[in-house]
Structure 1
Amino acid sequence: MKKRKLVQAGMLFMMVAIILVLSGCSQAMVLDPKGPVGAEQRDLIVIATILCGVILVPVLVLTGWIVWRYRDSKTNKASYKPNWSHSTSLEVIWWAVPIIIIVTLAVITLKYTYALEPSKPLKSDKEPITIQVTSLDWKWLFTYPEQGIATVNYLQIPEDTPIKFELTSDAPMNSFWIPQLGGQIYTMSGMAMTLYLQADEIGHYFGTGANFSGEHFADMTFDVNATSREDFDSFIAKTKKVPTKLTKEGYEELAMPGKSGVKYFSEVPEGLFEQVVNKYTNGQSVHNGHGAGHESKETKETKETTKKESSMNGTQMDHSQMNMSK
């Protein structure tokens, strides 16, 4: 009778736990992907969880069963063998099963890692749209170089079209993340990272900065609106008619620490994104998202001037020493 009650109590506890876990799934945006990258990442999470569960679930169940089975009770008649020391069958099970699972998980993870390389273009018959992302304190600047417009804390993209994000930072390092479209990627000063994402459905999505960046870190969120191509083109046309233009002076003001609402700019200084990247590289030009590159003309001239001055100083010192020796 007591055993039956314990089993019933255990089943009830598991049902309540499952209900509580599932009730939170509605808020788990990562598990509700709306793009090919997000879907692949969701699949990897599910596969990894199942493989880990193959080990964790039996361990948890056996732990509870052993505690109950060998409880200190006068009525407990379970066989107790204090001198037991070895079992070949058990050794094979608890060594072979984890090894098989770890190897399987490693192979699957390696496959997904290469398949989900952030800078790898997505397969599509449509040309990708480039959007340049600059993380600031504490706001996001989105530049559409091909369309010549910019927005702050608002991103509009066409559905079923690859988006090539080029990302950098003009503030402390942050992390760009749209949970339903794909994983996060760091934005770093002096570097231009690349991330391809795509929204398969029309809808509104949540975007945020996933890296702590100071006082107003929690306010570094932005709205993502995936629309039809016609609505996207209409958005571009309307934004081009906005009277506000983003000048270099206006950008410097925007880059100052502080919160900001949604803003639209009908024009953007040409090469603004590249200038933001290059100003942190000390004369190094950025190529394909890496800081290593050729020296600028100004840097070379400065080095040559320094060499000449050093040579002249060395000659003067030699003459001075010669005079002293006399």
Structure 2
Amino acid sequence: MSIKTLRGLLIPFVALLLSGCNAVLLSPAGDVAVQQRNLIIISTVLMLIIIVPVIFLTLLFAWKYRASNKDAEYDPEWHHSTVLELLIWSAPLIIIIALGAVTWVSTHKLDPFRPLDRISEGREIPADVKPLVIEVVALDWKWLFLYPEQGIATVNEVAAPVDRPIQFKITASTVMNSFFVPSLAGQIYAMPGMETQLHAVMNKPGSYEGFSANYSGAGFSGMRFKFLGVSEGDFDKWVAQAKASPDALDRDSYLKLEQPSEKDPVHRYGSVSDGLYKAIVNRCVEANRMCVSDMMAMDAQGGAGIVGAYNVTSLDSATRNRLGLVDAPVKSYVGALCVGRDITGSPVSPAGRPL
């Protein structure tokens, strides 16, 4: 079989395979993702306005002025054309201005921290509708979702009513990940000790895939979850099912859940300890860890003092084991700086210099 024949057979086979692909980015189910899809299309079309004519004219010139075409016009003294200069420079300039305007508007309109102003095109958000708050924690290697209003939590499954705005508050336990539901909105990074946000809405019911779009270690490939777009009634039933779970997510159970594991099944918690998400963000789930917010408040007042020094130096064996510091050397800290006196009784620094 010749290469040409083989190539002819492969083309329809590849086309058949591609026909089964679901181009989710080009057919999303959420309004924010739809606007981002439109931005991609608009930007691509604007750039093709330049690219297509350039490719066409390149091929045209190569064919017209080929060596075998003796009838082509030959003008070795030609060096300038005002019309061509205007076309060459004005067209790209107009495209750049258009792209800049589209980018500036969309950057502000699609800011993930910006609350939504519509459910979908032509549909404003009712005045009495409040966003559904979902707190997201990227763990190794699974996703934890907390519903502060409903008092429940889930692992590797999240649900929200269709056409209701959602406010995601996103953080991570250890390394940076990326929260991404292609049908809902663009990816948002999840970082330890920080909180990012995403406002979005799902407009069509269904089960959609979510995953981490940032490599975070051995179990990264299995770090996936399901986003369920459901009706208000089905969402209430889903919440009721979660509340029926006998498991409670307190600080101790969270520290166990935080341990690295791969391809965890969906798990639901019927109750959640108050302030758990805040403690996760501030890196102080353990009882003997100072919260980042408290540390910053102390620093703003001039320093941590004795209490802060105690927290820094009092990592017990259980905490050191959980943090992987069992074999690490124990750090020593300066507890105080003593001021001495010389033979005349005047104070001197530790280096012996007069104060």
Q: TM-score, normalised by structure 1?
A: 0.82
The reply on whether 1:52 has 2:47 as its aligned counterpart is: yes
Change in CA separation of 1:295 and 1:29 when aligned onto 2, cut-off 3 Å: farther
Q: In the alignment, what sits opposite 2:93?
A: 99
| Contact 1:150 1:267 (C-alpha < 8 Å) held by counterparts | yes
Among 41, 55, 63, the alignment partner of 2:58 is 63
Change in CA separation of 1:190 and 1:83 when aligned onto 2, cut-off 3 Å: same
The reply on whether 1:110 has 2:104 as its aligned counterpart is: yes
Query: Percent same amino acid at aligned positions?
Result: 38
Secondary structure of 2:341's counterpart equals helix
Shift of 1:49: 0.7
Secondary structure of 1:27's counterpart equals coil
More deviation, 156-165/63-72: 63-72
Q: Distance in 1 between matches of 2:167 and 2:197?
A: 7
Among 24, 27, 33, the alignment partner of 1:29 is 24
Number of equivalent positions: 298
Q: Distance in 2 between matches of 1:321 and 1:206?
A: 78
Change in CA separation of 1:323 and 1:96 when aligned onto 2, cut-off 3 Å: closer
The reply on whether 1:235 has 2:238 as its aligned counterpart is: yes
Shift of 1:266: 1.1
Q: In the alignment, what sits opposite 1:322?
A: 345
Q: Distance in 2 between matches of 1:188 and 1:269?
A: 22
Q: Distance in 2 between matches of 1:175 and 1:151?
A: 18
Q: In the alignment, what sits opposite 1:216?
A: 219
For 1:65, give the aligned amino acid: L
| Contact 1:283 1:296 (C-alpha < 8 Å) held by counterparts | no
Among 22, 26, 34, the alignment partner of 1:39 is 34
Q: TM-score, normalised by structure 2?
A: 0.76
Among 54, 66, 78, the alignment partner of 1:84 is 78
Q: In the alignment, what sits opposite 2:3?
A: none
For 1:151, give the aligned amino acid: T
Secondary structure of 1:183's counterpart equals strand
Cα RMSD after superposing both structures? 3.2
Shift of 1:76: 4.8
Secondary structure of 1:322's counterpart equals coil
Deviation per CA, 1:237-285, whole angstroms, max 9, x where unpaired? 1111112222322211221122112111112222111111111797532
Change in CA separation of 1:24 and 1:122 when aligned onto 2, cut-off 3 Å: farther
More deviation, 210-219/149-158: 210-219
Q: In the alignment, what sits opposite 2:325?
A: none
Secondary structure of 1:285's counterpart equals helix
Q: In the alignment, what sits opposite 1:263?
A: 267
| Contact 2:298 2:304 (C-alpha < 8 Å) held by counterparts | no
Among 279, 283, 293, the alignment partner of 1:279 is 283
Q: Distance in 2 between matches of 1:201 and 1:231?
A: 14
Greater relative contact order structure (CA < 8 Å, 6+ sep): 1
For 1:66, give the aligned amino acid: F
More helix per residue: 1 or 2?
A: 1
Q: Distance in 2 between matches of 1:221 and 1:269?
A: 25
For 1:269, give the aligned amino acid: S
- The runs of at least 4 aligned residues of structure 1 exceeding 4 Å deviation read 23-26, 280-283, 296-301, 303-306
